[in-house]
């Protein structure tokens, strides 16, 4: 894709952010979770007629961001990191997973910017990602893929696919059709809560100052076979911070990678893993909806990162962070978006390792 088309697309994304803050999604701000839930049920019904396949999704990402051979189709821009995780054995009350043995586990991490543009600006009001590969003593792996937003933008796979179809680059103009994206926003109310969150919360000055959320609900299974529905997040010990509006206009478009590398040079960077325990009636299969704030929580462990490396040099570069690679004692719910992500990741990984 030409530099002109890349710039045009970035300009379009900036215009979307401004419109979202002042225009076409403003009317949806007061939409209640109940109304969104009703709309989601309608979307689920339509999904039975139109299946969003992994191939279609990866094709749509390439149509929206261009083809960048050998690179991820989504969360393309990133930085790698290495460290350890020590779980809290008290969590074995609800999960027999070796993550919570109390032993120090090696971690290969990756931080990223959402979207398929390898030149995306770090000042964009878009989600940040953190992916973790836990390497267990028996040689097995566990993956976690998280976002800087506590909710996702899609309750069903079709919404995910439709978003990137709406962002497709028009060959005649070199940029997406704003009218098509407006239509997507208006017809997919499940994306509203994340859109509002991104408009109300500026990006962090460093990945070390960002909380990351699992967004989906998961099953924790203990030694007795009892299942507990949970969500989790990682909270930075450096504190959560946001850039001011003035800082957003003055920051380098590539500040996040350097900020993390410099931070690790000063010493280890830590996050507390917090597990939230669900109660009957809490949404288990809709990642766009939040749980009540009064749920019981446990500190599940501490993530410590000791070094960071540019993406193409990092050990995380070749890893497919498949969210369904899970150690014994942790299992997925029937969340259709979580289950859909795995084959989409696999399709993207297959293409990039082939140099496509």
* Residues noted as catalytic: 75
> Quick one: tokens of 189?
């109310």
Q: Which tokens is 339 given?
A: 């289950």
Residue 199 CB coordination number (10 Å): 17
Own/partner contacts of 253-257, CB < 8 Å, gap of 24 or more, are 253/119, 253/121, 253/122, 253/123, 254/122, 255/122, 255/205, 256/79, 256/111, 256/113, 256/122, 256/128, 256/206, 256/207, 257/79, 257/308, 257/310, 257/311
Measured CA to CA, the distance from residue 252 to residue 255 in angstroms comes to 5
Angle, alpha carbons 103-322-166 (nearest 5°): 140
Whether the Cβ atoms of residue 250 and residue 300 lie closer than 8 Å to each other: no
Q: Which has the closest alpha carbon to 226: 331, 94, 100, 334?
A: 94
Buried/exposed 242-271: b ≥16 CB within 10 Å, e otherwise: ebeeeebeebeeebbbebbeebbeeeebbb
User: How wide is the angle at C-alpha 37 spanned by C-alphas 31 and 43, nearest 5°?
Assistant: 110
Helix (H) or strand (E) run with residue 20 in it:
helix 3-22
**Phi, psi (deg, nearest 5) at residue 212:** -130, 135
Q: Measured between alpha carbons, how far is 240 from 118 in angstroms, rounded to an integer?
A: 26
In three-state secondary structure terms, 153 is coil
Distance CA 113, CA 194 (A): 15
Q: What is the 3-state secondary structure (H, E, C) of 236-251?
A: ECCCCCCCCHHHHHHC
């Amino acid at each position: 894709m030409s530099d002109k088309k890349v710039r045009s697309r970035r300009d379009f994304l900036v215009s979307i952010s401004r419109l979202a803050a002042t225009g076409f999604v403003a009317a949806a701000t007061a939409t209640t979770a109940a109304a969104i839930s009703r709309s989601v049920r309608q979307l689920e019904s339509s999904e039975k007629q139109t299946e969003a396949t992994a191939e279609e999704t990866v094709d749509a990402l390439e149509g929206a961001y261009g083809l960048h051979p050998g690179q991820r189709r989504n969360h393309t821009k990133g930085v790698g990191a290495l460290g350890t995780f020590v779980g809290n054995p008290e969590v074995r009350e609800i999960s027999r997973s070796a993550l919570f043995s109390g032993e120090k586990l090696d971690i290969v991490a990756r931080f990223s910017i959402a979207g398929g543009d390898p030149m995306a600006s770090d000042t964009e009001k878009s989600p940040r990602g953190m992916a973790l590969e836990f390497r267990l003593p028996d040689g097995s792996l566990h993956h976690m893929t998280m976002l800087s937003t506590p909710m996702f933008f899609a309750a069903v796979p079709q919404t995910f696919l439709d978003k990137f179809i709406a962002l497709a680059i028009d060959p005649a103009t070199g940029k997406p059709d704003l009218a098509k994206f407006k239509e997507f926003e208006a017809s997919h109310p499940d994306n509203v809560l994340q859109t509002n969150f991104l408009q109300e919360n500026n990006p962090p000055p460093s990945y070390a100052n960002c909380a990351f959320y699992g967004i989906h609900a998961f099953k924790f299974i203990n030694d007795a076979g009892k299942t507990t529905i949970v969500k989790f997040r990682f909270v930075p010990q450096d504190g959560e911070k946001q850039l001011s509006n003035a800082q957003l206009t003055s920051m380098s478009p590539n500040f996040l990678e350097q900020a993390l590398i410099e931070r690790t040079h000063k010493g280890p960077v830590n996050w507390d893993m917090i597990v939230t325990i669900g109660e009957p009636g809490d949404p288990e299969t809709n990642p766009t909806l939040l749980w009540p704030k009064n749920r019981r929580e446990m500190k599940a462990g501490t993530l410590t990162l000791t070094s960071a490396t540019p993406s193409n040099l990092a050990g995380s570069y070749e890893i497919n962070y498949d969210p369904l690679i899970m150690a014994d004692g942790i299992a997925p719910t029937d969340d259709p978006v979580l289950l859909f992500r795995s084959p989409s990741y696999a399709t993207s990984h297959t293409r990039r390792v082939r140099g496509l």
